[in-house]
Amino acid sequence: MNTPVVIAFAIYFALLGVIAIISHKTMRTSTDFIVGNRSLNFWVTALSAHASDMSAWLFMAFPAAIYIGGLPQIWTALGLFFGMLLNWLLVAKRLRLATEKYQANTLSSFFEKRFHDSSGTLRILTALMLVFFMTCYLCAGLIAMGYLIESVFGIDYYWGLAFASFVVMAYTFAGGFITVAWTDLFQAIFLIIMITLVPIVAFSKIAGGFGAIEQAAIQNEISLSPIADLSFSSLLTIIFLALGWGLGYFGQPHIVTKFMGIRKPEELRKSMYFGMTWQAIALTSAVCVGLVGLGYFPNGLGNPELVFVEMVKQIFHPFFGGIVLCAIIAANMSTMDSQVLVCSSILSEDLYGKIINSKASPRRLLRVTRGCVIFITLLSLGVAFIRSTTVLEAVLYAWTGLGCAFGPVILFSLFMPMTNRTGAIAGILTGGVVAALWDFFYPHEALIPIPAMVPGFLLSSCSIVLFSWLTQNQEESTIVEGLDS
């Protein structure tokens, strides 16, 4: 095992531990633990929201897509950029004000109060759907961590998974929302520096520069044009690629809950400018990693998702290389911690606190929430041990499920007063089921691959409108007022 690399990783984890210990002292109630008592400033909100979005996908899955598929894959990045921009413009402020108005700390409780659901159906359905897809998302992060630790340290994949799970569980357990937000801030700054630095240094070491990249692309039949051709099928594929990722932003709980934690809603626009600048730099740099990888590894790699890792291992001193590789851990943990927190808050607030023990004290709920952190982490670890998928496939499946199930109902709940309980239930069920089962009925090998996000989001939206209209005389619709002020 390489001692300098171990030292670099130890320093990084020690910093996370310090942040967790400091944050632990501020935790008094479950509200503090779940949304930080709505006390974040605009720049912590911005970087925390974006760091929660950009997991190891940014360092492993997306560069691999560029490395294998060329620049046509750039439409994924453009879809993500404009999807997140619309999320800031349409959802951020309205959701922050609405959840405060209804005194809701989770999406489940917000939906229940917004749609006057006294039966608990909407809360339970939302909680179960969130936990299912979030667990899949967590598995993707753990798989990435297992590959990284196995590649860097030579440690068995399964021991790597166990170690990664313990670290995320420990500092999320200790400090909750505040710890997650501040570690995300630290990790967002760290990872943007590293993902910008590595392709620049690697490019300087390629003999032949752009010529070598072009030659490798021709040799491997990889397009360096964003649009491979102007045929109808090619253009349709581009549209589906962008929508397949971009539409998902509206329904990602680990991202939209960061909007709920800001202290002053009027500062969300500043958060948007700050965060979108960060995202543009991060995505551009990830594209560069994939392109530079073509020239740096012209004969291919056994696992293309390790293109960034292998690049770092070859061009840097082991100690500095270990620090750079911590960026992948930073990206991964900044997503995983938010997902663990969202899942545990759902189980404690929405199931235990409302159904099992509605008279639980704030201290009791806090202890239960922390217990759920342990449960969710161990559950995800068990599923990740199966090791049956790639990081990209696992992330896309979870991203699609969350986006289809919750994106439409969040938008309709904030913008369409006529939306009611039945419509919300129908939308969540339709979107979640279509996303979960689409690939079983529509194979990837189809002539024009249609991502599950497109039919799932569309059918969920149609279900909300149809069932709300059919039951409009049976249920009282609620107008969400004052959200534009």
Judged against a pLDDT cut of 70, whether residue 276 lies above it is answered with: yes
pLDDT above 50 for 482: no
Least confident range of 24-38, 121-135, 255-269, 393-407: 24-38
Residue 418 C-beta-side C-alpha neighbours within 13 Å? 10
Residue 262's beta-bridge partner residues?
40
Give exposure, 447-466, as e/b (b: 16+ Cβ within 10 Å).
eeebbbbbbbbbbbbebbbe
pLDDT value of position 254: 76
Find the mean pLDDT for residues 23-32.
50
Mean pLDDT of 115-136: 84
- pLDDT in the model for residue 171: 59
pLDDT at 110: 86
Closest CA to 448 of 205, 235, 147: 235
Within 115-204, residue ranges assigned H as helices are 121-153, 157-204
Distance of CA 105 to the CA centre of its chain: 19
Q: What is the mean pLDDT of residues 36-50?
A: 60
Q: How confident is the model at residue 410 (pLDDT cuts 50, 70, 90)?
A: very high
The residue-averaged pLDDT of 70-92 equals: 91
Where is pLDDT greater, at 214 or 442? 214
At 354 the pLDDT is: 66
User: 464 pLDDT exceeds 60?
Assistant: yes
Provide the b/e sequence for 135-166 (b: ≥16 CB within 10 Å): bbbbbbbbbbbbbbbbbbbebebeebbbbbbe
Q: What are the structural domains of the chain?
A: 3-392 (1.20.1730.10)
Q: Which residue has the higher pLDDT, 376 or 44?
A: 376
pLDDT category at 78 given cuts 50, 70, 90 is very high
Question: Is the Cα dihedral 105, 111, 114, 115 positive or negative?
Answer: negative
Residue 415: the pLDDT is: 92
Distances (CA, A) of 4 to 11, 12, 27, 197, 316: 11, 13, 36, 20, 12
Q: Enumerate residues 6+ apart whose C-beta is below 8 A from 232.
A: none
Bridge partners of 40, per DSSP, are 262
Residue 179 confidence (pLDDT): 58
Predicted local confidence at residue 10, as pLDDT: 75
Q: What is the DSSP letter of 265?
A: G
Look at residue 397 and give its three-state secondary structure. helix
The encoded tokens of residue 113 equal: 């109060």
